[in-house]
Amino acid sequence: MPQTAVYSGTDEIGSFYDDHELTEVTFAQGVTSIGERAFQGCSSLTAITIPDGVTTIGNNAFALCRSLTAITIPDGVTTIGERAFWGCSSLTAITIPDGVTTIDRSAFNGCSSLTAITIPDGVTTIGRTAFSRCSSLTAITIPDGVTTIGNQAFYECSSLTAIIIPDRVTTISNAAFYECSSLTAITIPDGVTTIGEHAFYECSSLTAIIIPDRVTTISNAAFYECSSLTAITIPDGVTTIGEHAFQGCSSLTAITIPDGVTKIGENTFNRCSSLTAITIPDGVTTIGYGTFYGCSSLTAITIPDGVTIIGGEAFRDCSALTAITIPDGVTTIGSDAFRDCAALMKLSLSPAVSIGEDCFSNCTALLTAAADQNMSTVEDLLLSRWHGIRERVNALLCLKGTWDHVEDPPRRSARKRKRTDGVEAPALRVTPAREKIPKVLWRVILEFL
């Protein structure tokens, strides 16, 4: 193939497709459009000037022209097709003409050397992945007329430090600012009602954000791993907080969940390690799997009376949590729910609750479990769930000073006690200190003597 070529505009689709030797293009008179895939994959093409008569740049027209550093788009262009400049990784600057009203899907996706771009005032829609992976883009102005920002529009724009979203936008789409790791601040307009899934996923430099009052939904993983976020206010109108919504927000110290929320999804506040306090509203009925897993600064929490289910690993590794009261309405506590809560010293729970495996494993400071003495699952609760406690008899040292090893002489009238393994247990002398020990713990002591 020649190193230079003339584009007539009547060529079949993809006529110069993957021509790696093409370095220069001229256009025949009368060309009004550049067809689909016209120059896709022309990896040696470094610069191009599109003639004034052109109004349309077709889909994939210059996709994967990896050596293209500059291009002039004439004022008459009104349409830039899908993936038109996709993967033009050497393109440093581009001017979009005022006549363009839509920036189509993936139009500039992967233009990793593009540092700045101005979107004209007539644009109303920024398509899906339009500027995705523009990793050198530091600033962009979105005009006031824009009403829609598509999914992943600024996905992995890792150099973008600030952006203003126009007032007419009503939805922050899924993954719109995914991994914009240099983004420090953003203003969400008052008209927004929904923050989509992964909207600000791993925006690790974001320190503060104001969510407007009209927002009703914070979707799954919306603020996942926003590790610099120190404070956030959730509006009263929010009724849904999705799974993983604030997972890994390790600088977040406090948060108030609005009264309208009835369910806290799985892993919502997982590894919020600086969270010291949180208020759960009375309307919540379910605390999902891993919701507060690894909230290692959380010292106390009140579970509302309406809660019926505490999911597995819900409070696992809350290593500063010292006491918790589980309401009588709770019917199920999932596996590992309080595992590794090493500072937990007091637990109140109903005798009717169903408890999953290893629920209280490694809760080494746990001293009391306020349950009915006839509760059939006491052995499961305090032996099976406290992992290995049967083999680690020294766990009973936590009761040191409240009872002694002196045995009373056997009495004929004394009622013989037997352990679960069938071996007769020694009688214990009643002392004032022993009388203060909850009956449920006496049952555990007798199992080990």
**What tokens were used for 105?**
């899907």
In this structure, the strands spanning 417-418 and 424-425 are antiparallel
Q: Judge whether residue 126 has pLDDT over 90.
A: yes
Model pLDDT for residues 98-112, shown as the tens digit of each residue = 999 989 999 999 999
Cα separation, 443 vs 234, in Å, equals 46
Give the residue, 422 or 208, on which the prediction is more confident: 208
Residue with tokens 């009495």: 411
Task: Place 415 in a pLDDT band, splitting at 50, 70 and 90.
Answer: very low
Burial of residue 432 (CB within 10 Å: 0-12, 13-18, 19+) is exposed
Provide the pLDDT confidence category of residue 438 given band limits of 50, 70 and 90: low
pLDDT at 371: 37
Asked whether residue 136 carries a pLDDT value surpassing 80, the answer given is yes
Average pLDDT over residues 79-107: 93
Q: Which of 245, 244, 236 is nearest to 218 (CA)?
A: 245
Look up residue 368 and give its two tokens: 């009391």
- Greater pLDDT, 303 or 391: 303
Of 271, 286, 352, give the one whose Cα is nearest residue 318.
271
Q: What is the pLDDT of residues 336-375, one digit of tens each?
A: 999 999 888 777 777 678 888 888 888 777 644 433 333 3
pLDDT at 379 over 80: no
Tens digit of each residue's pLDDT (9 = 90 or more) over 284-329 = 999 999 999 999 999 988 899 999 999 999 999 999 998 888 888 9
Question: Among 100-104, 139-143, 153-157, which stretch is predicted with the lowest mean pLDDT?
Answer: 139-143
- What tens digit of pLDDT does each residue of 14-34 get? 778 898 999 989 899 999 999
pTM (2 d.p.)? 0.78
CB atoms within 10 A of CB 161: 14
Mean residue pLDDT across the chain: 82
What DSSP state is assigned to residue 384?
I
Taking a C-beta distance cutoff of 8 angstroms, is the pair 257, 235 a contact? Answer: no
CB atoms within 10 A of CB 180: 27
Q: How far apart are CA 407 and CA 430, in angstroms?
A: 10
pLDDT band, very low/low/confident/very high, at 215 (cuts 50, 70, 90): very high
Domain ranges, ordered by start, for the chain: 1-91, 405-448
In DSSP terms, 144 is beta-bridged to: none
Sheet of strand 368-370: strand arrangement:
323-325, 346-348, 368-370
Q: Give me 15's structure tokens.
A: 């006529």
Residue that wins the pLDDT comparison between 442 and 31: 31
Please determine, for residue 196, whether its predicted confidence score (pLDDT) is greater than 70.
yes
48 or 405, which is more confident? 48
Q: Strand pairing partners for 125?
A: 102, 148
pLDDT at 406: 40
What lies within 8 Å, CB to CB, of 425 at 6+ separation is 417, 418, 419, 446, 449
